[in-house]
Amino acid sequence: MPRAPRKEPLRVEVASVVPLKRAEAFSVVVDELVEALGRQGLVFVPGPKGTITQQEKPVGHVEAWVPKERIRLAWHPAPWLPNETTELELRFADAAGGTRVSAEHRGGADVFGEAGEVAGWVAGSALASFVANLAPAALGDWVTDRTARRPSGRRSRGIYSDPIFHRPNFALLLEVLELGPRDRLLEVGCGGGAFLQEALRSGCSATAVDHSPDMVRLARANNRAAVEAGRLEVLEAEASELPVITGAYTCAVSTGALAFFPRALETFREVHRALTPGGRFAVFTGTRELVGTPACPEPIASRVHFYEDAELETLARQGGFRSAEVRRPDLVRYAVALGLAPDVVDLFRSLPAAAQLLVAHR
Ligand SMILES: C[S@@+](CC[C@H](N)C(=O)[O-])C[C@H]1O[C@@H](n2cnc3c(N)ncnc32)[C@H](O)[C@@H]1O
C-alpha cells in the first residue's frame, strides 16, 4: 500500500543582529524574555531544567541550555494534539556588529490542518505582529513605556536607581513635606525608589506603588534595609487603584509620574482616601515648557498630559482635598546646593517655568 507522503516539518525563524557581545546578548535576551513573556501570561523559568508554562500548564521545557550559544526547548503547541511535540531553539552567534540572535520553531505542520493555512498563520500571527510592532504607534508606546511610563530593562534600571536630574525636585519635595519619624508616607509612581531612599532618612515609614514590575523590584532592592526592617513596602499596582488601607498615611507624594496617569482624578481620590484627616499631598510634575528638551523628547512628549496650574488645583479639589495650591518653584538653587555639574544646572536655568508643585491637604 502506498504510504501517505510525510509532511515537511514547518520552520519559522526570526533573527536580528544585536550590538552586544555574545555573553551579554544571551543574558539580556533571557532576562527580557522572562519579563515580556510574563506580561503575556507565560511563565518562563530559565536554566538547564527550565520550563515555560501558561495558566500553570506546561508549554515547553528546556532540553539544551548552553550559555552564550543556544537554548533548545521541547514545545507542546497544541494540547488537542498531545503527540505533537515541536522544537523551539534560540541561537546566539558572533556576527559583524555584534551577536546574531535567532529563534527557530521546527515542526507543527499538523496543528494548522491544511497546508495553505500555514501561510495564513505566518502572515497573520508572526509577520503581522512583527510589522505592527514596528509601526509608529507601537514603537512610540514602546519607547515611552520602556524609558518613562513603565520603565524596564537595564538602561532604565540604571537611570532610576540614580535619577540625577530628579534630585533637585526631590530636595524641594523633602523641604515641603518636612518628614519626621512619626510620618507614614505613601508614594505613587516610585520608579527605582531613589526618592524613598532620601525620605526614609527622616525615620518615617513608607508604602510605595508603581505599575512597573521592574521598578518595584528595583525600589525594593535599592531600599533593602528598610524593607527588611518593615519600614517600607513596595507594591505593584495602578495609581488609580491603590491597594492601601483607608486613612493610613500622614502624607503622600508623587514625582515625575502624574503626567502618565491615565485616570488622574481617580488617583487623587485614592490618595485622599489613603490619607489621615489633615494629611498632605505633594505632587511634582513638569509643564509644557519641557516639550522637546532632553527632559521630554518625542515620542514621550505627545504621550503625556500637561496640566495648567488651575486645572491641577481643580483636580485635587475634585479628588476631595480641602486645599490645593500650585507653585512654580525655581529648581536652580536646589541643583546648585546639590553640587550638580554646571551643564546640568544650566539646563534647569534654561527652563524657568518648567517645574510645577502642587501641595494639597485633606
Ligand atoms: C518618569 S518615572 C519617575 C520615577 C520616580 N518617581 C523618579 O522620580 O525617579 C514615572 C514612574 O511612574 C510609574 N507610573 C506611570 N504610570 C503609572 C500608573 N498608571 N500607575 C502606577 N505607576 C505608574 C512608572 O512605572 C514610573 O516608574
pLDDT, tens digit, 9 for 90 and up, residues 247-267? 999 999 999 999 999 999 999
Confidence (pLDDT) at 111: 84
Residue nearest to atom 15 of ligand 1 (CA): 149
225-240 average pLDDT score: 98
Model confidence at 83, pLDDT cuts 50, 70, 90, reads confident
Q: Is the pLDDT of residue 178 over 80?
A: yes
Model pLDDT, residue 313: 98
* 261 CA → ligand 1 middle, Å: 8
pLDDT bin (cut points 50, 70, 90) of residue 3 is very low
Average pLDDT over residues 90-108: 96
Report the separation in Å between the CA atom of 189 and the middle of ligand 1, taken as the mean of its atom positions.
4
Which pLDDT does position 2 carry in this prediction?
43
> If pLDDT is split at 50, 70 and 90, which confidence band does 119 have?
confident
pLDDT of residue 1: 42
| Cis check: omega of the bond before 299, within 30 degrees of 0 | yes
CB of 210 within 6 A of ligand 1: the answer is yes
Q: Structural domains in the chain?
A: 11-134 (3.30.530.20), 156-361 (3.40.50.150)
Atom index in ligand 1 nearest the CA of residue 256 equals 3
The pLDDT value recorded for residue 266 is 98
Q: Is the pLDDT of residue 155 over 70?
A: yes
Q: Is 260 in the pocket of ligand 1 (CB under 6 A)?
A: yes
Give the per-residue SS3 of the chain. Answer: CCCCCCCCCCEEEEEEEECCCHHHHHHHHHHHHHHHHHHCCEEEECCCCCEEEECCEEEEEEEEEECCCEEEEEECCCCCCCCCCEEEEEEEEEECCEEEEEEEEECCHHHHCCCHHHHHHHHHHHHHHHHHHHCHHHHHHHHHHHHHHCCCHHHHHHHHHCCHHHHHHHHHHHHHHCCCCCCEEEEECCCCCHHHHHHHCCCCEEEEEECCHHHHHHHHHHCHHHHHCCCEEEEECCCCCCCCCCCCEEEEEEECCHHHCCCHHHHHHHHHHHEEEEEEEEEEEECHHHECCCCECCCCHHHCCCCCHHHHHHHHHHCCCCEEEEECCCCHHHHHHCCCCHHHHHHHHCCCCCEEEEEEEC
What pLDDT, in 10s, does the model give residues 331-356? 999 999 999 999 999 999 999 899 99
**Buried b or exposed e, range 171-195, using 16+ CB within 10 angstroms:** bbbbebbebeeebbbbbbbbbbbbb
Q: Whose CA is nearest to atom 24 of ligand 1?
A: 150
The residue written with cell numbers 521545557 in the block is: 61
The ligand 1 atom nearest the CA atom of 148: 1
Q: Give the residue with greater pLDDT, 157 vs 77.
A: 157
Ligand 1 pocket: which of 155, 157, 160 to mutate (most atoms within 8 A of CB): 160
Cβ of 160 below 6 Å from ligand 1 = yes
Residue 4: predicted pLDDT:
45
pLDDT at 277: 97
**pLDDT > 80? residue 5:** no
Q: Which of 162, 211, 284 to mutate to test the pocket of ligand 1 (most atoms within 8 A of CB)?
A: 211
For residue 281, report the distance from its CA to the centre of ligand 1, in Å.
16
Which protein residue has the closest C-alpha to ligand 1 atom 13? 189
Q: Is 261 in the pocket of ligand 1 (CB under 6 A)?
A: yes
Share of the chain above pLDDT 90, in %: 88
Question: What pLDDT is recorded for position 161?
Answer: 97
Distance 236 CA to ligand 1 centre (A): 11
Q: How far is the CA of 177 from the centre of ligand 1 (A)?
A: 20
Q: How far is the CA of 310 from the centre of ligand 1 (A)?
A: 23
Average pLDDT over residues 105-131: 87
With the most atoms of ligand 1 within 8 angstroms of its CB, the residue from 167, 169, 215 to mutate is: 215
Say yes or no to pLDDT of 92 above 50. Answer: yes
The Å distance, Cα 215 to ligand 1 centre, comes to 8
Tell me the CA–centroid distance for residue 16 and ligand 1, in Å: 31
Q: Verify whether ligand 1 is closer than 6 Å to residue 211 (CB atom).
A: yes
pLDDT band at 8 (very low <50, low <70, confident <90, very high): low
Residue 61 has pLDDT above 60, yes or no: yes
CA distance 158 to 94: 27
pTM: 0.92
Q: How far is the CA of 340 from the centre of ligand 1 (A)?
A: 23
pLDDT mean across residues, the chain: 94
Q: What is the average pLDDT across 277-283? A: 98
Q: What's the whole-number mean pLDDT along residues 205-218?
A: 97
